[in-house]
Amino acid sequence: MAVFNKILSDRRGGIGVAVLAGVLAVAAFLHAAAYWLRQEAEETQQRLVRRQLQLAVQALAKSDFMDSTLQNSIELPPQKLYPGGYILRAGIDAEEQNGLARYIISADAGGQSLALQQLKLNLPQDIAELGRRYTLAAGKKLTGAENLPEGTAYADNLGGILDSLDIKNYANFKEMAFPTKTEFEEYGLSGALYYDDGHYSKSIAAASKNIKGQGCLVAMMSIFVADGTKIPDFCVIISDGQIEIGKNAVLGKVLLISKYDITIKSGASVSGIALCDGNLTIESGANFTRDETVLQPFITALRLKQQ
């Protein structure tokens, strides 16, 4: 301050003010530079913490937690992160209801958090056992058995074979709304559980006729797979109404479960298992082959959990 006062009292005041202005400008620049460096350092640190959180949840996601005896949660011992000295807390929370399970893999440190979600969808034990015994099973009449490959195990007039399955249970685990035709075309199936509780039947169709990716599609109303549609990857289709597989459609690996009727139209080619409470029809010219692997639990893709 004494230096500034001396400059101000200099009889060449114009020059003194100019010098002071220069000093203040330099000081302001240095302060701004220091602030910028601090901001840059903080942003770099935050990016590093974010990356460490990503690595933590990825490591947990690769563990065999779904095959363990995990009941409610696993919380790992706190770890100190370097640099920064932040405390990392990470763990897995589980929520299960009627064979449907949601796993939340989360980590937090330095005021940041990251969480991923994954579902494991199991069939009721009695329904899975029915699928292991029969390729096709109907609560009422099965029509078109003569169109099945020789040796195909099937049964009909079994009564209410799906009584243990409450389709409304899937509502609590819904990840995405039922795709539109455009979404089927652009994105295919994204390894998600799609659920619809609306009052209209749903159509599985794409302009290109080819739908890629895995998915579990559940609807309270009927589901129709459009003529010529191709779904080569693992797909589960569950309906409280009827299920119809259109003419010349190709389903490479599918589990069909209907609380009403199932119809496989002429020219369709299906590999998997079909179970329904109502009538099951295999039209002439349709092809249905067994693939027991569709009885495995459907595990959705890891996706970010909305905070």
Q: pLDDT tens-digit profile of 120-139?
A: 999 999 999 999 999 999 99
Q: How far apart are CA 111 and CA 60, in angstroms?
A: 20
Q: Is the same domain home to 149 and 189?
A: yes
pLDDT at 5 over 80: no
Q: Is the same domain home to 129 and 107?
A: no
Q: Is the same domain home to 241 and 97?
A: no
Residue 244, domain extent: 125-297
Q: Is the same domain home to 152 and 8?
A: no
The tally of domains found in the chain comes to 3
Q: How far apart are CA 239 and CA 223, in angstroms?
A: 7
Task: Tell me what pLDDT residue 4 has.
Answer: 43
Task: Assess if residue 250 is contained within a domain.
Answer: yes
Q: Please answer whether residues 103 and 297 qualify as being in contact, where contact means their C-beta atoms are separated by less than 8 angstroms.
A: no
Q: Is the same domain home to 188 and 231?
A: yes
Task: Assess if residue 266 is contained within a domain.
Answer: yes
Q: Name the percent of the chain lying above pLDDT 70.
A: 84
Q: How confident is the model at residue 71 (pLDDT cuts 50, 70, 90)?
A: low
Q: Is the same domain home to 194 and 90?
A: no
> Of 121, 136, 155, which residue constitutes the final position of a domain?
121
- The CA-atom distances, in angstroms, between 103 and each of 65, 73, 193 are 9, 9, 14
Q: Which H or E run includes 235?
A: strand 230-239
Number of Cβ atoms within 10 Å of the Cβ of 286: 22
Q: Is the same domain home to 116 and 18?
A: no
> Of 70, 99, 121, which residue constitutes the final position of a domain?
121
Q: Is the same domain home to 90 and 132?
A: no
Q: Is the same domain home to 288 and 205?
A: yes
Q: How confident is the model at residue 281 (pLDDT cuts 50, 70, 90)?
A: very high
> Does 179 sit behind a cis peptide bond, omega within 30 degrees of 0 on the bond before it?
no
Q: Is the same domain home to 143 and 283?
A: yes
Q: Is the same domain home to 30 and 116?
A: no
pLDDT at 11 over 70: no
pLDDT at 41 over 50: yes
